């Protein structure tokens, strides 16, 4: 695809608006937050549907289990907070009270990854994909822009069972078309090329596309695969790009341990052993800085992806 | 059920706990038998719990102290959710009766619990759900005293009062013991009554083995959430287990099982034979 940026919009703004939209359509949807409603943007829902909105205060563990109780009552609860507190602090509540009984709770956790920025390492969840995808029965979605975020939430509430949506804080380019289909478990090939496969998720998808454009100028044709659904993962799409290109890069603003890179490596190990370079946070914590500075520092920009691709293709071409 | 029948049912629950845990050679006897009267009175008096009713018409009970599952399974068997003989499959591979309550496997279990502090929060969610449905459904949570050491327990207490959940009753099975010793030794809970009051609950203190006291406590109408502080004896009804820390998570061997059942058999004369 040719990259066309329609606007700059944060994923959390999109999930907030989508939640309110869904709330108007469906009476069974209730929302919960833990004193971050104006950051996760669940406040949009709260203002429209105050009777179906529960601010649980700064008590994420309680919130997740209250959501479980509402799910048992037949509602479709959407629990919102930061990824650090929802997937981290309340991990065991999500595991035991929501996923173990397979309850229909959706977790829309924002401020994930390095892109949290200035708040620093204490608030930058870089383990959340890993934590969430290891729980049996959990679906893990990582939208790459505001458009995809809206579709992801819609798909999540239509699915019966627990879903984690990882939402970024940062205002980011909206580049996927409105009519691009979104199917849980189905990766999207954004660009087709036979020299190398770049598999990305979340905010890194846009960076991967920018890198692919630059690579093209240098005569390297890259496939860019958008994995918005980390679990279930599109095994077929990964194997296809592995067979076609023979060399892969994964990119994520998450630890390389347990995230997209690991998920792809698992598929490759099972089905199609292929050389793989995992770009991400290399087993260390984040720190304060602007998101741009952090992406630069941790090696997660289009330039870094381009350099890694050239290095790999150059060494094997 | 008459008072005598409830008394007899409580004895039957204790028998089932001893038999099922003894057969499984694993499980929690002490904290199961300490809430026998609480469960008997809830499921046969306070709650609409007839399995013939559609689930949404039934009241809900969350056993937040999920390790007392053998007692819950027994009362559900007596209510007719499944055959009583099946209780002997407790904790065995493939059994519907998991070590801790599993709502997906066991008919009549309203929430999966076991990890302490979480069930009471689930009960808050159920109470909010009942209110949203404009249902008259009542929600009960049975909590342990040791469980109140979990921070989440107090998060849940705070939210129950904040949301003014008059349809929620929290019953604390206050047996005073936990795995490593008495609550006092391990982590003092202080004045639980004062704490529950300070959080904004209406508190009723009862002898948790006294059936009329329990029934009266359930009948009290409150404006907000109710907290029944039920003083109980861990291992109640089996003399060598009563107030013994060691009987938290230990299963009786064949000899101990026989002795316990003989003691419980001897208590039959104290109650009318109703079950």
Confidence of residue A2 (pLDDT cuts 50, 70, 90): confident
Place of tokens 């034979």: B273
Last residue of a domain, one of A131, A150, A174: A174
Mind listing the pLDDT tens digit for each residue in B65-103? 999 999 999 999 999 999 999 999 999 999 999 999 999
Burial of B162 (0-12, 13-18, 19+ CB in 10 A): middle
Last residue of a domain, one of A150, A174, A198: A174
Nearest by CB to residue B129, choosing from A51, A75, A96, is A75
At residue B270, the pLDDT reads 57
Q: Looking at the domain assignment, is residue A304 inside a domain?
A: yes
Structure tokens at B170: 């929290």
In DSSP terms, A257 is beta-bridged to: none
> Is A42 in the same domain as A163?
yes
| Mean pLDDT estimate for chain A | 97
B129 and A74 within 8 Å at the Cβ level: the answer is yes
B122 and A96 within 8 Å at the Cβ level: the answer is no
CA B31 to chain centre: 9
Q: Looking at the domain assignment, is residue B51 inside a domain?
A: yes
- What CA–CA distance (Å, rounded) separates A126 from A295? 13
Last residue of a domain, one of A118, A144, A174: A174
> Is A62 in the same domain as A159?
yes
Collect all residues of chain A within an 8 Å Cβ-Cβ radius of residue B121: 61-62, 64-66, 68-69, 93, 97
Confidence of residue A114 (pLDDT cuts 50, 70, 90): very high
Q: Is the Cβ–Cβ distance between B161 and A59 less than 8 Å?
A: no
Mind listing the pLDDT tens digit for each residue in B119-174? 999 999 999 999 999 999 999 999 999 999 999 999 999 999 999 999 999 999 99
Which of A52, A62, A81 best probes binding to B when mutated, by most B CB atoms within 10 angstroms? A62
State the nearest Cα–Cα gap between A54 and chain B, in angstroms. Answer: 9
What mean pLDDT is predicted for residues A256-267? 98
Q: Does A208 touch chain B (CB under 8 A)?
A: no
Q: Looking at the domain assignment, is residue A57 inside a domain?
A: yes
- What CA–CA distance (Å, rounded) separates B33 from B238? 9
Q: Looking at the domain assignment, is residue A301 inside a domain?
A: yes
Query: Does residue B275 register a pLDDT over 50?
Result: no
A52 and B132 within 8 Å at the Cβ level: the answer is yes
What mean pLDDT is predicted for residues A40-62? 97
Collect all residues of chain A within an 8 Å Cβ-Cβ radius of residue B158: 57, 59, 62
At residue B268, the pLDDT reads 84
CATH classification of the domain holding A105: 3.40.50.970
A67 and B156 within 8 Å at the Cβ level: the answer is no
Mind listing the pLDDT tens digit for each residue in B175-191? 999 999 999 999 999 99
Confidence of residue B271 (pLDDT cuts 50, 70, 90): low
Long-range contacts of A2-5 (CB under 8 A, 24+ apart): A3/A175, A3/A206, A3/A209, A3/A210, A3/A213, A4/A175, A5/A173, A5/A174, A5/A175
A66 and B125 within 8 Å at the Cβ level: the answer is yes
> In terms of pTM, does the model score above 0.90?
yes
Q: Looking at the domain assignment, is residue B126 inside a domain?
A: yes
B137 to chain A: closest CA residue: A73
Here the ipTM equals: 0.96
Taking each helix axis as running N to C, give the angle between helix B151-162 and helix B192-199, from 0 to 180 degrees, rounded to the nearest 10. Answer: 40
> Is A78 in the same domain as A147?
yes
Collect all residues of chain B within an 8 Å Cβ-Cβ radius of residue A59: 152, 155, 158-159
- What CA–CA distance (Å, rounded) separates A104 from A72? 8
A93 and B129 within 8 Å at the Cβ level: the answer is no
Q: Is the Cβ–Cβ distance between A129 and A166 less than 8 Å?
A: yes
Number of domains forming the structure of chain B = 1
CATH classification of the domain holding B176: 3.40.50.970
Collect all residues of chain A within an 8 Å Cβ-Cβ radius of residue B132: 30, 51-52, 70, 73, 75
Q: Looking at the domain assignment, is residue B275 inside a domain?
A: no
Which of A61, A66, A162 best probes binding to B when mutated, by most B CB atoms within 10 angstroms? A66
Mind listing the pLDDT tens digit for each residue in A5-19? 999 999 999 999 999
Query: Does residue A164 register a pLDDT over 50?
Result: yes
Q: Which range of residues forms the domain containing residue A222?
A: 188-316
SS3 assignment, position A54: strand
- What CA–CA distance (Å, rounded) separates A32 from B128? 12
Mind listing the pLDDT tens digit for each residue in B225-243? 999 999 999 999 999 999 9
Q: Looking at the domain assignment, is residue A2 inside a domain?
A: no
| Mean pLDDT estimate for chain B | 96
Q: Is the Cβ–Cβ distance between A73 and B132 less than 8 Å?
A: yes
In DSSP terms, B230 is beta-bridged to: B173, B206
> Is A222 in the same domain as A254?
yes
Q: Looking at the domain assignment, is residue A125 inside a domain?
A: yes
> Is A73 in the same domain as A160?
yes
B161 to chain A: closest CA residue: A56
What mean pLDDT is predicted for residues A195-205? 98
At residue B138, the pLDDT reads 98
> Is A194 in the same domain as A304?
yes
- What CA–CA distance (Å, rounded) separates B113 from B122? 9
Collect all residues of chain B within an 8 Å Cβ-Cβ radius of residue A97: 111-112, 115, 118, 121-122
Q: Is the Cβ–Cβ distance between A283 and A257 less than 8 Å?
A: yes
Q: Which of A239, A287, A280, A12 is nearest to A129 (CA)?
A: A280
At residue B274, the pLDDT reads 44
Q: Looking at the domain assignment, is residue B62 inside a domain?
A: yes
Query: Does residue A305 register a pLDDT over 80?
Result: yes
B125 and A100 within 8 Å at the Cβ level: the answer is no
> Is A169 in the same domain as A195?
no
B155 and A61 within 8 Å at the Cβ level: the answer is yes
> Percentage of residues in chain A with pLDDT exceeding 70?
99
Nearest by CB to residue B159, choosing from A66, A72, A77, is A66
Q: Is the Cβ–Cβ distance between A43 and A21 less than 8 Å?
A: no
Rounded (5°) CA angle A157-A32-B203: 130
Query: Does residue A70 register a pLDDT over 80?
Result: yes
At residue A29, the pLDDT reads 98
How many alpha carbons fall within 13 Å on the CB side of residue B43? 30
Q: Looking at the domain assignment, is residue A215 inside a domain?
A: yes
Number of domains forming the structure of chain A = 2
CA trace torsion A85, A139, A184, A291 (10° rounding): 30
What mean pLDDT is predicted for residues B2-24? 97
CATH classification of the domain holding A291: 3.40.50.920
At residue A317, the pLDDT reads 57
State the nearest Cα–Cα gap between B272 and chain A, in angstroms. Answer: 38
A69 and B114 within 8 Å at the Cβ level: the answer is no
Q: Looking at the domain assignment, is residue A27 inside a domain?
A: yes
A96 and B114 within 8 Å at the Cβ level: the answer is yes
> Is A204 in the same domain as A138?
no
Q: Looking at the domain assignment, is residue B115 inside a domain?
A: yes
A30 and B118 within 8 Å at the Cβ level: the answer is no
At residue A1, the pLDDT reads 65
Q: H-type helices in B25-102, by residue range?
A: 30-33, 36-41, 69-79
Rounded (5°) CA angle A201-A207-A209: 90
In DSSP terms, B177 is beta-bridged to: B182
At residue B149, the pLDDT reads 98
CA B146 to chain centre: 14
Q: Looking at the domain assignment, is residue A182 inside a domain?
A: no
Collect all residues of chain A within an 8 Å Cβ-Cβ radius of residue B107: none
- Cα separations in angstroms, A3 against A173, A174, B125: 10, 10, 45
Q: Which range of residues forms the domain containing residue B251?
A: 3-270
Mind listing the pLDDT tens digit for each residue in B188-223? 999 999 999 999 999 999 999 999 999 999 999 999
Place of tokens 């949290």: A116
Q: Does A34 touch chain B (CB under 8 A)?
A: no
């Amino acid at each position: 695809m040719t990259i066309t940026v329609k606007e700059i919009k944060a994923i959390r703004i999109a999930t907030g608006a989508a939640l309110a939209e869904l709330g108007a359509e469906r009476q069974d949807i209730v929302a919960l937050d833990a004193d971050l409603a104006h950051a996760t943007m669940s406040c949009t829902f709260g203002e429209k549907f105050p009777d179906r909105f529960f601010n649980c205060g700064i008590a994420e563990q309680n919130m997740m289990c209250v959501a479980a109780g509402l799910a048992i009552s037949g509602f479709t609860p959407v629990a919102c907070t930061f990824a650090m507190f929802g997937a981290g602090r309340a991990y065991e509540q999500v595991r035991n009270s929501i996923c173990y009984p397979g309850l229909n709770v959706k977790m829309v956790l924002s401020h994930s990854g390095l892109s949290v920025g200035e708040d620093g390492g204490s608030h930058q969840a870089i383990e959340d994909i890993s934590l969430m995808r290891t729980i049996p029965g959990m679906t893990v979605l990582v939208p790459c822009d505001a458009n995809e975020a809206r579709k992801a939430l819609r798909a999540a509430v239509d699915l019966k069972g627990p879903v984690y949506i990882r939402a970024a804080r940062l205002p980011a380019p909206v580049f996927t078309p409105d009519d691009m289909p979104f199917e849980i478990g189905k990766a999207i090939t954004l660009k087709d090329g036979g020299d190398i496969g770049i598999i990305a998720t979340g905010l890194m998808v846009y960076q991967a596309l920018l890198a692919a454009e630059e690579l093209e100028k240098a005569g390297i044709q890259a496939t860019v695969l958008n994995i918005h659904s980390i679990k279930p993962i599109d095994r077929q799409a990964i194997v296809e790009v592995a067979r076609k290109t023979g060399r892969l890069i994964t990119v994520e603003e998450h630890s390389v341990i347990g995230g997209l890179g690991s998920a792809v490596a698992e598929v490759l190990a099972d089905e199609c052993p292929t050389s793989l370079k995992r770009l991400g946070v290399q087993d260390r914590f984040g720190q304060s800085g602007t998101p741009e500075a952090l992406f630069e520092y941790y090696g997660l920009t289009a330039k870094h992806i381009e350099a890694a691709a050239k290095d790999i293709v150059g060494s094997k071409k | 059920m008459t008072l005598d029948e409830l008394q007899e049912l409580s004895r039957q629950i204790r028998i089932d706990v001893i038999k099922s845990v003894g057969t499984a050679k694993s499980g929690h006897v002490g904290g199961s038998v300490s809430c026998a009267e609480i469960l008997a009175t809830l499921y046969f008096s306070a709650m609409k719990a007839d399995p013939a009713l559609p689930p949404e018409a039934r009241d809900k009970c969350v056993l937040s102290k999920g390790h007392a599952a053998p007692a819950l399974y027994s009362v559900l068997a007596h209510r007719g959710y499944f055959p009583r003989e099946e209780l002997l499959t407790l904790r065995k591979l493939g059994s519907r009766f998991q070590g801790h309550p599993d709502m997906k496997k066991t008919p009549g279990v309203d929430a999966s619990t076991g990890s302490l502090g979480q069930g009471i929060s689930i009960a808050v969610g159920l109470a909010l759900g009942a209110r949203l449905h404009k249902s008259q459904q009542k929600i009960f949570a049975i909590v342990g005293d040791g469980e109140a050491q979990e921070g989440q327990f107090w998060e849940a207490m705070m939210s129950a009062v904040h949301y003014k959940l008059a349809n929620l009753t929290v019953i604390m099975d206050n047996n005073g013991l936990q795995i490593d010793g008495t609550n006092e030794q391990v982590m003092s809970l202080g004045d639980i009554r004062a704490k529950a009051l300070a959080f904004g609950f209406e508190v009723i203190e009862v002898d948790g083995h006294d059936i009329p006291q329990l029934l009266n406590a359930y009948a009290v109408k409150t404006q907000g959430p109710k907290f029944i502080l039920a003083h109980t004896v861990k291992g109640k009804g089996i003399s060598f287990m009563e107030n013994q820390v060691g009987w938290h998570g230990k299963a009786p061997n064949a000899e101990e099982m026989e002795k316990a059942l003989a003691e419980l058999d001897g208590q039959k004369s104290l109650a009318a034979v109703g079950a």
